[in-house]
Amino acid sequence: MGFDTLKERYPRLIPAGLRFECGTGWEGILERYFAEVEAILPEDSDLGLKGVFEKYGTLNIEAWPRNASQDIVDRIEVRGYVAESRSARTCETCGRPGQKRGRSYIFVACDDHSEGAPSLPEDYGTYGGIYAYDPGIDDVVAVPAEEQ
């Protein structure tokens, strides 16, 4: 596929000059993210996409819907969280299943691309909130109020 193909496929969402600052192993995650956002975003709205990059080992998408209701904003924010959560389990180099690893910096890699770096605990670098990623259903679930 390639990042240029994503730009061609989603011109309303991705500015032509945007540079993707992450590995090609996450292209599939980004394809799903942009397809989900396109399905949510009303025709009279657009996406302010400022950046797509790796940060603290996972995918970071800086985007906000413009001219959209708070419900749309919230739904797109959740899709970004899901994409980030998927990236925490996907090798940034090849797209196969991976895990967070680290020595001097954190990254996600399969065994073949780990460069010998040790695995980190699965919850390393995660944070609480009103929803949490459930890899069993590949989507978010509500976090009970008493756990928030």
The answer to whether 142 touches 131, Cβ cutoff 8 Å, is: yes
Q: Is residue 131 one of the residues assigned to a domain?
A: no
For 33-59, the pLDDT digits (tens) are 999 999 999 999 999 999 999 998 999
**Angle at the Cα of 80 from the Cα atoms of 146 and 64, rounded to 5 degrees:** 110
78 assigned to some structural domain: yes
2-28: pLDDT as tens digits: 899 999 999 999 999 999 999 999 999
In a domain, 135, yes or no: no
> Quick check: is 102 in a domain?
yes
pLDDT band at 145 (very low <50, low <70, confident <90, very high): low
pLDDT 10s digits, 67-116: 999 999 999 999 999 999 999 999 999 999 999 998 778 899 999 999 88
Domain of residue 61: give its range. Answer: 3-122
Record the tokens describing residue 17, joined without a space.
């000059």
Q: CB–CB of 83/32 below 8 Å? A: yes
105 falls within a domain:
yes
Structural domain count of the chain: 1
Asked if the structure places residue 139 within a domain, the reply is no
